[in-house]
Structure 1
Amino acid sequence: MFTKIPYAEAMSTQAASLAVAYSSLQQDLERCTLAPWQAGETIGVVAMGASSHSGHALVSVLAAAGVRAVNLVASDLQLAAPGFQPADHYLIVSESGRSPEPIAAGRGLMVGRRIGISNDPTAPLAEVVDVSLSLGGFDDSGVYTSGYTATLLAYALLLDRVGVVPAGPQVAAIPDIVTTALETYEEVAARVARIVAGASSIDVIGRGTSFASAAEVALMFREGLRIPSAAFETYQYLHGPMEPINDSTVLLVYGDGRELTVPDAALASGAHVVLVTTAPERDVPSAGHPRLTIVRLAPDLEGFVRPIVEVVIAQLVMAHAIESKDFTLDDFLYAQSDTKLVDSPVAD
């Protein structure tokens, strides 16, 4: 069982944790027997919280490959009819391996088709899956850092293993890519942090794999900085949710398409906007506006690598923004007694 460490330590040692995860996952995937994924079958992600947000990236990558997939909130499955099977294969994801909702869902899902992804293969999740993939047992912070990015790494290696989406050379280089990102984006993250720390609310938007980043970053800011934050798919945001933004709002935008023009209206409202994009400034109509910060991504980031880098940038922002608060990223106001199992669950 891994232990919780300070946020700053977990973030700064993330490359080493990802290297551990890469090695552990490769070993597990080499020795496990997986039910083949057939054409026309549906893949279901079953998770809660940050793990559930990671599922948006998996669904997006699979959709681009022509594979049907659904991101299922584990607690919703408790409301389903007995025997209900919304997918043909399941990825049951919990970094701790102790979230009760995915464990309860796993008991009712198809035997032989359940793959568990966890940072602790000895945790109770292992009892309700057929194949366990371990992230390696590295220590992590309360606001997950390596646990989230390592889950995206696990998806990349799994899809390669089942022959659906080749991993590509960038996947093996993820630890080095994260090291570079932590160095490259330090200065701009500090500037963005000063804006974020003073916000009354934060909206985060993105599409495709970047919607996963939007969802995770909104959770991080809400959980770690205690600032009301919400995530939306880019086009959904345009259908009403952007109406409340004002001069105390920060809008964080991930993307290269319609996302390039979303800042225009937000800036007119007085909001501060941060655009994380691969697009050159010449393609951003509002480039040069004093309340717009553009964070450039490398244009060649593939698959799950881009959302990993996007989240690492937000982690840096958090690390700087907390400096203006009178609490730490390791303090939580509200402890829930039923979001993690302490002992092995009793079989139904």
Structure 2
Amino acid sequence: MEPTASFVDAMRAQPENLARARETVLRDLASAGLPRWEAGDSVAVVAMGASLNSSHALVAALAGAGHPAGGVVASDLADGLAVVRADHNIVVSESGRSPEPLAAARKLAAGTRIGISNFPDQPIRDEVDAVLGLGGFPDSPVYTSGFTATILAYALLLDHVGVREGAAEAERIPGRVADVLRDYAEAAETVGRVLAGAKTIDVVGRGASLTAAAELSLMVREGLRTPSAAFETFQYLHGPMEVLSDDDALVIFGDGREVSIPSSVLDAGVPVVLVTAADPATIPAAGHANLTVIPLPAGLGLFERAIVETVIAQLAIAAAIEHKPYPLEEFLYHQDDTKLPVR
């Protein structure tokens, strides 16, 4: 059996697990024989669930470096509902046993497939050309360490193939996460109360911050059993926000258009959480009773920020579950076909 941990234990073990992942990914990259990528090479990230949520940070980093990139729902590719013709394909499965990414990998050209998994000796190894292991650490059923370690692996991968510098950023990440776990615990209690009291929760972000937005929404659904959806910032303005009421909550990640979104809903009684590195003076509704602003440290790298935002979201979930009459790790509905047997 794969080692597992409680949500809180896995969350708090992230500094050590991320340091372990960094060492493991660097070792695997050194032996993988991957060529440097050419300017403009295209990239697809093929995954399901939380692993697909992690792809937003990678896609944003690749776009910033001039590489066409996108996340692909693995089941769509496996069943012929999507076609991928990318120069490089990143197949992500934390367990290494999710059947959809493995079936999708068989549709991809040999020589283009790089796997990322916490358990690289599971069936994923048979379906890709090289696999980067995260270290085999225990993770929670609602993923924590494996999710952030996947993002760290993206930083090291892009550094290794010459797309963008990421080694120094990856080296900072374990210590940065330790700081977040310590420094944001009190703020997370406030956000946790907002989440626990909401009937539905919308989460908004764009670019690399859509990583944390999408993952928080999934954690809300999986862990808190509360309806939730994540939206790209500008998509959210085109209709989805119209359902908000004072029974709901809105969580926003970002520094651009995101900082003015709260102004349109706060007076309707909607509790809003804004996670941002923006100067407080640029937030129009700063000081409103229904707005909680969570300030981010300045100068974060793209992957570093995606991880920091995610860990803040994890802390909020851990705080919110304290207001619920059920445990975070207890799933109601079990599916028999979302994982292959453990080797």
Normalising by structure 1, what TM-score?
Answer: 0.96
The Cα shift of 1:11 comes to 0.7
2:15 matched to which residue of 1?
15
Conserved? CA contact 1:2–1:119, under 8 Å: no
The Cα shift of 1:170 comes to 2.8
1:200-246 Cα offsets, whole Å, 9 max, x none, are 00000001100111111100111100110100000000000000000
Matched ranges for 1:122-137 at <5 A: 122-137=121-136
Instruction: Specify whether residues 343 and 12 from structure 1 end up closer, same or farther in structure 2 by C-alpha distance, changes over 3 A only.
Output: closer
Which letter does structure 2 place at the counterpart of 1:63?
A
The Cα shift of 1:40 comes to 2.8
Listed as ranges, the gaps of 5+ residues in structure 2 are none
1:71 matched to which residue of 2?
71
After TM superposition, where is structure 1 displaced by more than 6 Å over at least 4 residues in a row?
A: none
1:4-59 Cα offsets, whole Å, 9 max, x none, are 11111101111111111011001001111114422232101000000001111111
1:61-106 Cα offsets, whole Å, 9 max, x none, are 1101111111111011123289x54311100000000000000011
Question: How many angstroms apart in 1 are the aligned matches of 2:185 and 2:258?
Answer: 23
Q: Secondary structure at the match of 1:102?
A: helix
1:261 matched to which residue of 2?
260
1:183 matched to which residue of 2?
182
Question: How many angstroms apart in 1 are the aligned matches of 2:342 and 2:274?
Answer: 44
Q: Secondary structure at the match of 2:302?
A: coil
Question: How many angstroms apart in 1 are the aligned matches of 2:104 and 2:86?
Answer: 13
Listed as ranges, the gaps of 5+ residues in structure 1 are none
Question: How many angstroms apart in 1 are the aligned matches of 2:75 and 2:338?
Answer: 11
Which letter does structure 2 place at the counterpart of 1:20?
R
Matched ranges for 1:23-38 at <5 A: 23-38=23-38
The Cα shift of 1:2 comes to 3.4
The Cα shift of 1:343 comes to 5.2
Q: Secondary structure at the match of 2:240?
A: coil
Matched ranges for 1:25-104 at <5 A: 25-80=25-80, 84-104=83-103
Q: Secondary structure at the match of 2:313?
A: helix
Question: How many angstroms apart in 1 are the aligned matches of 2:285 and 2:110?
Answer: 53
Question: How many angstroms apart in 2 are the aligned matches of 1:191 and 1:246?
Answer: 19
1:166-224 Cα offsets, whole Å, 9 max, x none, are 01523201110000000110000001111110100000000110011111110011110
How many percent identity over aligned positions?
A: 53
2:282 matched to which residue of 1?
283
Question: How many angstroms apart in 1 are the aligned matches of 2:57 and 2:265?
Answer: 26
Which letter does structure 1 place at the counterpart of 2:339?
K
Conserved? CA contact 1:46–1:93, under 8 Å: yes
1:100-122 Cα offsets, whole Å, 9 max, x none, are 00000111211011000000011
Matched ranges for 1:218-257 at <5 A: 218-257=217-256
Question: How many angstroms apart in 1 are the aligned matches of 2:318 and 2:247?
Answer: 21
Conserved? CA contact 2:40–2:66, under 8 Å: no
Which letter does structure 2 place at the counterpart of 1:110?
A
Question: How many angstroms apart in 1 are the aligned matches of 2:174 and 2:190?
Answer: 25
Normalising by structure 2, what TM-score?
Answer: 0.98
Q: Secondary structure at the match of 1:243?
A: helix
1:322 matched to which residue of 2?
321
Conserved? CA contact 1:275–1:292, under 8 Å: yes
Question: How many angstroms apart in 2 are the aligned matches of 1:140 and 1:35?
Answer: 31
Conserved? CA contact 2:224–2:321, under 8 Å: yes
The Cα shift of 1:3 comes to 1.3
Which letter does structure 2 place at the counterpart of 1:315?
Q
Which letter does structure 1 place at the counterpart of 2:18?
L
Conserved? CA contact 1:35–1:113, under 8 Å: no
Which letter does structure 1 place at the counterpart of 2:23?
S
Conserved? CA contact 1:85–1:110, under 8 Å: no
Instruction: Specify whether residues 20 and 168 from structure 1 end up closer, same or farther in structure 2 by C-alpha distance, changes over 3 A only.
Output: closer
Question: How many angstroms apart in 2 are the aligned matches of 1:81 and 1:188?
Answer: 43
1:250-290 Cα offsets, whole Å, 9 max, x none, are 10000000001000112122100000000121110000000
Q: Secondary structure at the match of 1:242?
A: helix
Corresponding pairs, count:
343
